[in-house]
């Protein structure tokens, strides 16, 4: 999918872009020692990476209690199914450890520029573009994807979602928004 080497120039293309974030985590983290938080995320990020990578996606970066994930546009079905799995399994994982947070996932698809950038001695893979900002700005209480993503899905996967307005997003059939 995104197999470019650090020495190659940046590339452009359409990608499925997703953010995940743990609700209320900052409040929870204030009550715990930093080593405990570090160990929690060491395990949680393994869970995230396992789900994403086994479905053909790539974790771009982890940012505190959040992360940025991409899939190739041609993998929209597999990507959305994996991200929904991440939402469900992530919430179960947190509940089993009595962490009072939920995983929120937001997904959009569109053009981005991607490649390696950074300091002369530490370049890292990253993505940029309006698509990234659009994904980040989606409103969600759990899982939301843009209409552009929904239109890329096969009928069997589409049936797992319902329209939610305004603005239009698609959420799992069994999710409530208040």
Per residue in 83-120, pLDDT tens? 999 999 999 999 999 999 999 999 999 999 999 999 99
From CA 171, how far away is CA 153, in angstroms rounded? Answer: 13
Q: How many domains does the chain have?
A: 1
Percent of the chain with pLDDT over 90: 83
Residue 27 falls within a domain, yes or no? yes
- Its domain, for residue 137, covers 11-172
Residue 119 falls within a domain, yes or no? yes
Residue 177 falls within a domain, yes or no? no
pLDDT of residue 9: 77
Residue 75 falls within a domain, yes or no? yes
pLDDT of residue 4: 65
Give the residue-averaged pLDDT of 43-53.
97
pLDDT of residue 6: 65
pLDDT of residue 44: 97
CATH code for the domain in which residue 145 is found = 3.30.70.1230
From CA 119, how far away is CA 31, in angstroms rounded? Answer: 35
Tell me the per-residue pLDDT of 25-40, one tens digit each, with 9 for 90 and over.
999 999 999 999 999 9
The pTM is what? 0.88
Residue 5 falls within a domain, yes or no? no
pLDDT of residue 110: 97
From CA 178, how far away is CA 175, in angstroms rounded? Answer: 10
pLDDT of residue 166: 66
DSSP β-bridge partners for residue 164? 169
DSSP structure string for the chain: -----TTSPPEEEEEEEEEEEETTHHHHHTTS-HHHHHHHHHHHHHHHHHHHHHTT-EEEEEETTEEEEEEEGGGHHHHHHHHHHHHHHHHHHHHHTT----EEEEEEEEEEEEEEEEETTEEEEEEESHHHHHHHH---SSEEE-HHHHTTS-HHHHTTEEEETTTTEEEETT----
From CA 22, how far away is CA 103, in angstroms rounded? Answer: 5
Residue 80 falls within a domain, yes or no? yes
pLDDT of residue 36: 96
Tell me the per-residue pLDDT of 122-178, one tens digit each, with 9 for 90 and over.
999 999 999 999 999 998 889 999 999 999 999 999 999 988 776 677 888 888 765
């Amino acid at each position: 999918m995104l197999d470019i080497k650090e020495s190659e120039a940046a590339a452009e293309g359409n990608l499925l872009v997703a953010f995940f974030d743990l609700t209320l985590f900052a409040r929870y983290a204030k009550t715990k020692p930093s080593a405990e938080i570090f160990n929690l995320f060491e395990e949680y990020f393994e869970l995230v990476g396992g789900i994403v990578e086994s479905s053909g996606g790539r974790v771009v970066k982890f940012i505190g209690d959040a992360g940025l994930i991409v899939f190739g546009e041609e993998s929209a079905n597999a990507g959305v199914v994996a991200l929904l799995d991440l939402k469900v399994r992530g919430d179960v994982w947190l509940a089993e450890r009595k962490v009072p947070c939920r995983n929120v996932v937001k997904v959009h698809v569109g053009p981005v520029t991607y490649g390696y950038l950074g300091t002369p001695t530490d370049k890292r893979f990253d993505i940029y573009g309006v698509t990234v900002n659009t994904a980040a700005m989606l409103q969600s209480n759990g899982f939301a994807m843009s209409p552009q993503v929904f239109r890329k899905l096969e009928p069997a996967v589409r049936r797992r979602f319902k329209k939610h307005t305004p603005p239009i997003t698609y959420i799992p059939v069994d999710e409530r928004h208040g």
